[in-house]
Amino acid sequence: MLDVLTRFANGVSWCASQLASVAAAVLTVAMVYEVAARYVFDAPTAWAFDIAYMANGAVFLLGVAYVLREDAHIRIDVLRNRLPVRFNRGVQGIAYLLILAPFFGMLSWIAVSHTWRAWVLHEVETVSPWAPLMWPFYLCIALGLIALTLQLAVGGLQAFRGLDSAARKDH
């Protein structure tokens, strides 16, 4: 059962990371276009700032679950390396499954609610002259948080099962 959950969470994380890659490409193209429009043609766009913060937020939140899956996040290993492996796995299992997964699950629920509300109300960015619809950005936030919650829950279960990060990637 854990193998099925792991494959599912890993697949969701991979899909979210691919969306993050698309958002990074959009961010790059938009910023290059904005620089050219502003400095070459003296015609800045009304949408560059909005695209920048939305795409940057999407890259971060859609990519974080994949980073956790690959065990590539930043961690301070000074204390961790001096403690027994079994103790570290227990701490990781408790932190991931009992603290972080419920917290990010709650944030996911809130993000999904905000996304739905923005969709229904056709919410737009009110401080922007471009006034883009907000639900696509909120959807990226919600999907990223859901992927992170799944990855945290599976990572916690795997830590309790005794799998290290290299073994978790294989599932």
Asked whether residue 171 carries a pLDDT value surpassing 70, the answer given is no
Four-CA torsion 136, 142, 146, 151, nearest 10 degrees: 80
Task: Render the burial of 34-65: b for 16+ CB within 10 Å, e for the rest.
Answer: beeeeeeeeeeeebbbbbeebbebbbebbbbb
For residue 62, report the phi and psi dihedrals to the nearest 5 degrees: -75, -20
Span 126-148, pLDDT tens digits: 999 999 999 999 999 999 999 99
Q: Do 44 and 38 contact (CB within 8 A), yes or no? A: yes
pLDDT band at 165 (very low <50, low <70, confident <90, very high): low
For the chain, domain boundaries: 2-70+86-170
Span 65-80, pLDDT tens digits: 999 999 898 777 888 8
Span 114-123, pLDDT tens digits: 999 999 999 9
